Amino acid sequence: MPLPRFDRLPAERREHILGVARRHFAEHGSEGASYNKIIEAAGVSKTAAYHYFDGREDLLTAVLDGVLGRLLATLGPWEPARDADDFAARFTAGSAALAAHLAAHPEDLALADAAIGRAHGGPWLDWFGALVTDGRRLGLVRGDLDHELMVAATAAVIRAADGWALARMTAADPAGPPAPAHAPPPEAQLWSLLTGLWGGREPGRAH
């Protein structure tokens, strides 16, 4: 995390530095971006940089924490659904909002997988824990498997979907392989994957 002196900088200055770093990490990869080039582009001397961060990894952590925070803010907290149809509608709306955010913020899209991978659980898995708990209450998520396993599997599907979206947006050939005829939208495909994983009843069907 940033050192205390960084937190005392004006908010606009902090965001400028993190914004420059985010662009470099998104363009060159979380492992490939140069710390020296980042601080030079941000207009920060080497001396000042080491008063703000312990080093490159510290700066990367701050950037990825910001990415993860925006993803979670876009999703919003998971609130218990009224019924199965409300659950499906809320999940689809959240997925669409997340997809729209990533489409509008390609740097967050490029760094989303790294941000989620570095989280090692925490608030990201907590969100999916609330989702799975609510789905089980409504009979949408099977209850015969370990809760933590189902949470991890659900989060992994979402992470894979983010990677799929990134690959589609950054492919050398934007057209890519032809989509199947009448392919459903990405949110519907994600929902189909998850309902297959969850193995519960589907919304709109009788118990």
- What is the phi/psi pair of residue 199, to 5°? 70, 15
Segment 105-127, tens digit of pLDDT: 999 989 998 998 887 778 999 99
Q: Which of helix, strand or coil describes residue 80?
A: coil
| pTM of the predicted structure, to 2 decimals | 0.84
Segment 12-71, tens digit of pLDDT: 999 999 999 999 999 999 889 999 999 999 999 999 998 999 999 999 999 999 999 999
Segment 175-204, tens digit of pLDDT: 555 556 567 777 788 888 999 999 976 665
Regarding the domain delimited by 4-65, which CATH topology (the fold level of the hierarchy) does it fall under?
Arc Repressor Mutant, subunit A (1.10.10)
With left for phi above 0 and alpha for psi between -120 and 50, is residue 120 left, alpha or beta? left
